[in-house]
Amino acid sequence: KAGVTQTPRYLIKTRGQQVTLSCSPISGHRSVSWYQQTPGQGLQFLFEYFSETQRNKGNFPGRFSGRQFSNSRSEMNVSTLELGDSALYLCASSLRQGANYGYTFGSGTRLTVV
């Protein structure tokens, strides 16, 4: 059974550019969440999608956006990149919303903004 797949694994972008990251959840999982991991702030929740609808959003500026497709694959987009956006972006999928179903994480996309 394939796990959560995130592409690309590594990305280098220039300040001011925009970037799109992709996440393919485990087959059958309908909930996809995104997290940002940095040495200074740790793991922070970005947003969660379920059945193509954003159900919850963290405290990030509007430059961070996402979407979910009918096959549950999700993308997140960051516009007007800043140096502080350099981070490991992790995607997690779950069968449904809710704690008891568990969340499976992908290996992440390492974004470096220069």
Partner 1 sequence: GDSVTQMEGPVTLSEEAFLTINCTYTATGYPSLFWYVQYPGEGLQLLLKATKADDKGSNKGFEATYRKETTSFHLEKGSVQVSDSAVYFCALIFFSNDYKLSFGAGTTVTVRA
Q: Can you give the binding site for partner 1, defined by CB under 8 A?
A: 4, 6, 31, 33, 35, 42-43, 45, 48, 55-56, 58, 90, 92, 97-100, 102-108
Distance in Å, CB of 99 to partner 1, minimum:
4
Chain centroid offset of residue 9 CA: 12
Residue 72 is given by DSSP the state S
Distance in Å, CB of 73 to partner 1, minimum:
17
Q: What is the largest CA-CA distance in the chain?
A: 40
Cβ(114)–Cβ(106) below 8 Å = no
Distance in Å, CB of 16 to partner 1, minimum:
28
Determine phi and psi for 54, rounding to 5 degrees. Answer: -75, 120
Give the residue with the Cβ less far from partner 1, 107 or 112.
107
Give the residue with the Cβ less far from partner 1, 65 or 105.
105
Distance in Å, CB of 33 to partner 1, minimum:
7
21 vs 44: CA distance, rounded Å: 17
